[in-house]
Amino acid sequence: MKTILLLILFFSFNFYSISQNRRETSHFYGLEFQYSYFQTNIKALNSFLNTNYGHSITDVRLVGLNFKALTEVNRKHKYDSNFSFDYVLPTTYMSTSATRSFDIKGYQWGMMILGNDLLYKKKNVDLIFGTGLNAGKFKLHEDNETTTVDFFNKFLAPKLTSEFRLIFGKMCVGIRAEYQYDISNKSWKSTTNEFLPLTKFTGYKIQAFVGLGKVNR
């Protein structure tokens, strides 16, 4: 319930700020390379993995590209938006007996719309809040002495985004924080009749990025 109230409050604040905004301002747009740290609370899955392998998934690391663009509603309303693709860096975990292993990999698409720059009067600094959506798939591959099994879990998650960006001519560096709330089916699908505990990929992501582009004055 607290998470739902937080989502409602943030969405309301963001769209209210947008409705009150009447400006033409500078916005960086271009291509960014990003490295991400994703932390999610998957207690049931980790309990299963600890029991069977003696390991748990503490975090997920991703690398990807982000295209920073402008959304122009009309002459007086220009907003930050972005479209990204991230690849989960594969991580392999061995059981304590070294007879079984599993690895996790996957990908994620994301977008932010109607970003609201709170420092729009600053030419070389941005502090942006926005809303958006993440979607993707995680794959867990299990390998033992006799069989291999692949598990798949797709997710769809509305998100809240905040971003701090420093602009140096045609380059930028910055950090981005996201919180996503998974609203999709929590079940894993597998290539056999085996199953994994229900998993919800709700959590936060921290990204560091560097980009090349231009500033729209």
Please report, for the domain that includes residue 201, its CATH number.
2.40.160.20
Q: Does residue 118 lie in a domain region?
A: yes
Query: If you average pLDDT over residues 1-26, what whole number do you get?
Result: 56
Alpha-carbon span 166 to 28, nearest angstrom:
10
What is the total count of domains within the chain? 1
pLDDT digits (tens, 9 = 90+) for 142-168: 877 777 888 899 999 999 999 999 998
Q: Is 60 exposed, middle or buried (0-12, 13-18, 19+ CB in 10 A)?
A: buried
Q: How confident is the model at residue 1 (pLDDT cuts 50, 70, 90)?
A: low
Q: Does residue 10 lie in a domain region?
A: no
Query: If you average pLDDT over residues 4-11, what whole number do you get?
Result: 60
Bigger pLDDT: 149 vs 5: 149
Residue 100's φ and ψ, nearest 5 degrees, are -135, 150
Q: Does residue 3 lie in a domain region?
A: no
What pLDDT score was predicted for residue 65?
96
Token pair for 13: 């604040």
Q: Does residue 12 lie in a domain region?
A: no
Q: Does residue 14 lie in a domain region?
A: no
Alpha-carbon span 169 to 64, nearest angstrom:
23
Query: If you average pLDDT over residues 9-28, what whole number do you get?
Result: 57
Alpha-carbon span 130 to 134, nearest angstrom:
13
Residue 124, domain extent: 29-216
Most trustworthy range by pLDDT among 11-15, 27-31, 167-171, 205-209: 205-209
Bigger pLDDT: 41 vs 211: 211
Bigger pLDDT: 209 vs 96: 209
Q: Does residue 98 lie in a domain region?
A: yes
Which H/E stretch holds residue 160?
A: strand 148-168
Q: Does residue 193 lie in a domain region?
A: yes
Token pair for 37: 């740290």
Kindly tell me if the per-residue pLDDT of 39 is higher than 80: yes
What pLDDT score was predicted for residue 108?
95
pLDDT digits (tens, 9 = 90+) for 176-207: 999 999 999 888 888 887 778 888 889 999 99
Q: Does residue 197 lie in a domain region?
A: yes
